[in-house]
């Protein structure tokens, strides 16, 4: 709490100083700021503690500059989301730093830093969606929404095309639509839509997609009013995280379209519905993925039960980890659910630092970390399992 109050005070002081700077200085590409960083020394490892303290100081410096930009420009509505994003990507905005002093007090290492922050890069990211997408692990999205007009399949679906166009414009990475066309009427998609989790995983693996946006789109004739044809469209979508099968969100919308031909009116209605769905997805996908607390599944092989309990304890001691739950343990393989503010890459890296149990990462995705306990020289996997 004390550090939070101190940082808030520094941000307020920085805003006051920033407002007093001459325009030429305020417009500089880099901002130089002095900050403090802290880390607990574990197992007497001063080198690791210094790295963590420097990282803490760099995050603090970037947070303060973000505070200046948000308050002086009022560009960002959700400051908490941006601030949380900065905790993950802070080093990307640092042009350089200098360690001014270090001090060890009661097991806590404190470093004082002079940091140069790339202000213009922060401005760019605050003006666009990239920062939020990065916080969400910059997922690759596959959009496949079969479409019908009067119960007849449509070969070039308007709603799907509009959703893809809008997501690409917003900065999302998408699977190419020519690949999607092969899937639209496939048996595997029908299985996935019926709730087959394995079908989702197969689709994601085949097309290198982490997020699937799928559902159904329909349009139908409404009436003829003085030579103008009116059609009504409905688009329903679900957003699914491939690696876990979790449904992140679902949404549906109705829209109307009018034209001189039925085909054109149906297309207009479906395009409008697709645009409305895209408006929702552009906000919903990153916010669902980038929430301050995320669920990560952790799988660890070659364990005995006492080692599983050690891993549970170490995870609970890890900064930014909120909760840890052991779900199952069979044949030396453990599955844990971890609620954390860390990305899966960061959690995996942190677990490989533990000196008490040597682990190595064997697989990683947006919501899953797979690890294996290293066997000691002369030790076999069977001996570990025993």
- Give the pLDDT confidence of 126-137 residue by residue, as tens digits: 654 455 555 555
Rounded to an integer, what distance in angstroms lies between the CA atom of residue 82 and that of residue 76? 8
* Distant-in-sequence, close-in-space partners of 66: CB < 8 Å, separation ≥ 6: 82, 83, 86, 122, 126
Identify which has the larger pLDDT, 222 or 190. 222
Q: Which domains does the chain have, with CATH numbers?
A: 2-127 (3.30.1660.40), 140-289 (3.40.50.10070), 294-385 (3.30.70)
Q: What is the largest CA-CA distance in the chain?
A: 87
By DSSP bridging, strand 30-40 and strand 108-118 are: antiparallel
Rounded to an integer, what distance in angstroms lies between the CA atom of residue 93 and that of residue 89? 8
The whole-chain average pLDDT of the chain stands at 78
**Mind listing the pLDDT tens digit for each residue in 75-120?**
344 445 455 555 555 667 888 899 999 999 888 999 999 999 888 7
Rounded mean pLDDT of 26-44?
Answer: 81
**What's the whole-model pTM score?**
0.52
Half-sphere exposure (Cβ direction) of 20: Cα atoms closer than 13 Å: 6
Identify which has the larger pLDDT, 21 or 224. 224
């Amino acid at each position: 709490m004390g550090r939070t109050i101190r940082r808030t005070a520094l941000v307020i002081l920085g805003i006051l100083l920033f407002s007093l700077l001459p325009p030429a200085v305020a417009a500089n590409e880099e901002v130089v700021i002095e900050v403090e960083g802290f880390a607990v020394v574990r197992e007497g490892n001063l080198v690791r503690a210094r790295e963590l303290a420097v990282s803490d100081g760099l995050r603090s410096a970037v947070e303060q500059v973000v505070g200046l930009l948000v308050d002086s420009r009022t560009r960002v509505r959700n400051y908490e989301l941006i601030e949380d994003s900065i905790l993950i990507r802070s080093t990307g905005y640092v042009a350089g730093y200098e360690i001014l002093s270090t001090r060890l007090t009661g097991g806590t290492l404190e470093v004082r830093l002079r940091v140069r922050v790339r202000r213009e890069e922060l401005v760019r990211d605050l003006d666009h969606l990239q920062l939020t997408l990065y916080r969400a692990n910059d997922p690759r999205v596959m959009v496949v929404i079969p479409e019908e007009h009067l119960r007849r399949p449509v070969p070039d679906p308007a709603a799907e095309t509009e959703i893809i166009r809008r997501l690409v414009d917003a900065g999302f990475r998408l699977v190419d639509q020519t690949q999607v066309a092969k899937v639209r009427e496939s048996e595997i998609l029908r299985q996935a839509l019926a709730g087959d989790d394995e079908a989702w995983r197969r689709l994601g693996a085949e097309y290198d997609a982490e997020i699937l946006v799928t559902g159904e789109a329909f349009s139908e004739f409404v009436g003829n009013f003085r030579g103008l044809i009116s059609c009504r469209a409905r688009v329903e979508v679900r957003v699914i995280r491939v690696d876990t099968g979790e449904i992140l969100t679902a949404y549906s919308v109705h829209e109307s379209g009018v034209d001189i031909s039925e085909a054109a009116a149906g297309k207009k209605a479906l395009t409008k519905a697709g645009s409305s769905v895209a408006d929702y997805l552009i906000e919903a996908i990153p916010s669902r993925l980038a929430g301050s607390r995320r669920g990560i599944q952790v799988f660890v092989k070659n364990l005995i039960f006492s080692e599983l309990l050690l891993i549970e304890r170490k995870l609970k001691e890890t900064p930014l980890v909120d909760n840890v739950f052991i779900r199952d343990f069979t044949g030396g393989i453990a599955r844990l659910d971890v609620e954390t503010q860390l990305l899966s890459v960061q959690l995996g890296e942190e677990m490989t630092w533990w000196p008490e149990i040597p682990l190595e990462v064997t697989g990683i995705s947006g919501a899953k970390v797979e690890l294996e306990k290293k066997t000691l020289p002369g030790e076999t996997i069977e001996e570990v399992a025993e």
